[in-house]
Chain A
Amino acid sequence: MIESILSVNNMVTAFKTSDGLLPAVRGASFSVKKGETLCIVGESGCGKSITALSIMGLLPSNGKVTEGSVMFENKDLLTLKKEDMRSLRGNEISMIFQEPMTALNPVFTVGYQIREPLMIHHRLSKREAHQKGIELLKRVGIPSPASRMNQYPHELSGGMRQRVMIAIALSCNPKLLVADEPTTALDVTIQAQIIDLLNDLKRDFEMSLIMITHDMGVVAEIADRVIVMYAGEIIENGTVSEIFNSPQHPYTRGLLSSVPNVDDPDFHLNPIAGSLPLLNEKISGCRFHPRCPHAMEKCKAVSPVTFEATPTHSARCWLMEDEEVRQHGGQRAGTL
């Protein structure tokens, strides 16, 4: 049994708004093992990014983790002192962002920005940091890294900038990398390159990866395990093959049938009806029931508990309570 490097237990993140305290993440629990890639999927606004920012301790000032714990190597990140958390960030836990266009400071050279974490955390001299920076750029596949060090972000292409971001994030050999939709803003060929790069680097640096995405194609490429979020709740958690081959929750099935399949001429996109509820919307029972094609009376009244399909695969849906309905669900999933 490989020990987990990060475990999030019943984390609730809420935002102070004029309507009062609104929970954006409602009791998330999951763990990431050493060397594992965990994908967090879900539609925009379901709390994926907020989960990541909560782990990093980088929530906007009106957001706060109100319950639960985030254990990273036996330290609770939520109770850590500000300075201790800062020395962890960029050093042991790093993050890369969605928009390579805006995630680099436009007034500094690439070299300056890649040297900075090395000089902050490892106290390298400028010259040493510069050398290390060149090596890092070379490692993330940037041609002629020495001259790139002196260029400004606007002189690089989007894919190149994302590589630079990755190089900066990896500069201090983090144990955990949180990637918030790192490929969303890139075009498809570059996406594939970046995913391959992340896979390679993960192996080389022996780090764990939390990847946030809404692209099921990316998930299939990179994930070991997948958690599916809906309206701030984790509704399904399983290995990548379990999620793709036998999705349990109707929402997960909906997500999978919303992915276009060009190989099958008879395939029709099957979007999930309706849209994500607002944060302040009060929904009794299961938060998905207004959009769920299988909603029962029970779903409207009582919030579902977590059921285990296999030891590694769990979902929060009343359908799983009834063995027969579960069988039916399994068959339907098989036809996808």
Chain B
Amino acid sequence: MSTETVTASMASTSRNKKREKNFVKTWKRLIKNKMAVVGLVIIALQLIMTVAAPLIADYDPSKQNLAMSELPPGTEGHWMGTDNYGRDIWSRLVYGARISLFVGLGAVSLGLIGGVVLGLLSGYYRRLDGIIMRFVDLLFAFPGILLAMLIIAILGTSLVNVVIAISIWSIPTCARIVRGSVLSVKKQEYILAMKSLGASDWRILFKHILPNCIAPIIVFATMRMATAILSTASLSFLGLGAQPPTPEWGAMIAAGQDFMWSSPHMIIIPGIAIMLVVFAFNVVGDALRDALDPGMNLDK
């Protein structure tokens, strides 16, 4: 009995090691890519800003101080300068990082839930395939930003509605990617073997097919973060998303455009922030695709 316990516990540590090993392998492949490292550093910085915003920011992001308006970067106490209302741009940038990350995560996860479920169903059940894919085609027929604007026009302007709009816009692409993977995975013999063991359709779909489709989903989610952040900024810039005085990056650019000649830092700084973050998620997504490529997954 005691030997059995010992073997069992040994086995469980070896399993943990195994999982760790797979993760480490992917991680090692990922950080071999220099661009991915740059991207990861940028994402890490955004994460730090998100978590520690109240500690890093020197001022309340929406506190006005008209005596200190339009200070250029490098001014004492306001190293990134202030905007036309005298609000500290660094503080607004830090809180804006929070918003962009939350909106990105929210939109992508909602979009993933919808897209994965639709993709799984349409890939697995031939009867549903036609209906779901035609619905997806319908969503594809609208240009993305137009679809988002339409949804916001219906729901009203707010950040939450931006999240909903962007997530709906992510659904069709995600559904198609998942459907494609399901179509190839469901033909595998182990799925037939699972059926021959009497597993239910739901069990096969969610426990056996979904884990085999996870690599493209991770890549899609990472790349989609970039799109979602960019779209949030665009919609806020157009006045459809975050409303003043919310320190959203796109809204900051919109507010700054009237002062772009007198205080160009008001649009350049949030612009660079958006650019860096979008760039970071894109390169990391790219590198993840290479690192998770099953063709390269053989032991090297």
A80: min CB distance to chain B, Å: 12
Give how many A residues have a beta carbon under 8 Å from the other chain's beta carbons.
Answer: 36
Is the CB–CB distance between B196 and A147 below 8 Å? no
Closest B-chain residue to A155, C-beta based? B18
A106 contacts chain B at the CB level, 8 A cutoff: yes
Determine which of A58, A86, A121 lies in contact with B192 in the assembled complex, contact meaning CB atoms within 8 Å: A58
A89-B193 in contact given A147-B10, A150-B11, A150-B14 (Cβ < 8 Å)? no
A276 contacts chain B at the CB level, 8 A cutoff: no
A122: min CB distance to chain B, Å: 11
Closest B-chain residue to A118, C-beta based? B197
Is the CB–CB distance between A95 and B18 below 8 Å? no
Is the CB–CB distance between A89 and B11 below 8 Å? no
- 1/0 per residue, CB under 8 A from B, across A125-143: the answer is 0000010000000000000
Complex: how many Å from CA A86 to CA B195? Answer: 8
B143 contacts chain A at the CB level, 8 A cutoff: no
A165 contacts chain B at the CB level, 8 A cutoff: yes
B25 contacts chain A at the CB level, 8 A cutoff: no
B200 contacts chain A at the CB level, 8 A cutoff: yes
B22: min CB distance to chain A, Å: 9
Complex: how many Å from CA A130 to CA B203? Answer: 19
Residues of B contacting A99 in the complex (Cβ-Cβ under 8 angstroms): 189
Is the CB–CB distance between B188 and A116 below 8 Å? no
A107-B211 in contact given A99-B189, A102-B189, A150-B18 (Cβ < 8 Å)? yes
A16: min CB distance to chain B, Å: 12
Q: Looking at chain B, what size class is its interface with the partner chain?
A: 20 to 34
Is the CB–CB distance between A102 and B188 below 8 Å? yes
A88 contacts chain B at the CB level, 8 A cutoff: yes
Determine which of A95, A104, A105 lies in contact with B196 in the assembled complex, contact meaning CB atoms within 8 Å: A95
B17: min CB distance to chain A, Å: 10
Is the CB–CB distance between B126 and A61 below 8 Å? yes
Residues of A contacting B8 in the complex (Cβ-Cβ under 8 angstroms): 130, 146
- 1/0 per residue, CB under 8 A from A, across B109-136: the answer is 0000000000000000010000000000
Complex: how many Å from CA A165 to CA B192? Answer: 13
- 1/0 per residue, CB under 8 A from A, across B26-70: the answer is 000000000000000000000000000000000000000000000
Is the CB–CB distance between A94 and B14 below 8 Å? no
Complex: how many Å from CA A103 to CA B193? Answer: 6
Is the CB–CB distance between B14 and A147 below 8 Å? yes
- 1/0 per residue, CB under 8 A from A, across B198-239: the answer is 111001000010011000000000000000000000000000
Is the CB–CB distance between B15 and A165 below 8 Å? no
A57: min CB distance to chain B, Å: 9
Is the CB–CB distance between B198 and A105 below 8 Å? no
Is the CB–CB distance between A58 and B195 below 8 Å? yes
Residues of A contacting B208 in the complex (Cβ-Cβ under 8 angstroms): 105, 108
Residues of B contacting A104 in the complex (Cβ-Cβ under 8 angstroms): 190, 193
B1-29 residues with Cβ-Cβ distance < 8 A to A are 4, 7-8, 10-12, 14-15, 18
Residues of A contacting B126 in the complex (Cβ-Cβ under 8 angstroms): 61
Is the CB–CB distance between B197 and A97 below 8 Å? no
A246 contacts chain B at the CB level, 8 A cutoff: no
Q: List 11 A-B contacts (CB under 8 A).
A: A58-B195, A90-B198, A91-B198, A97-B196, A98-B189, A103-B189, A105-B194, A105-B212, A116-B197, A120-B199, A120-B203
Report, nearest first, the 7 A-B pairs whose CB atoms are least far apart. A90-B197, A90-B198, A89-B198, A95-B196, A150-B15, A102-B189, A103-B189
Chain B residues engaging chain A, CB cutoff 8 angstroms: 4, 7-8, 10-12, 14-15, 18, 126, 188-190, 192-200, 203, 208, 211-212
Contacts A104-B190, A117-B199, A146-B4 aside, 8 further interface pairs with beta carbons under 8 A come to A89-B198, A95-B196, A105-B194, A116-B194, A116-B199, A130-B8, A150-B14, A168-B193
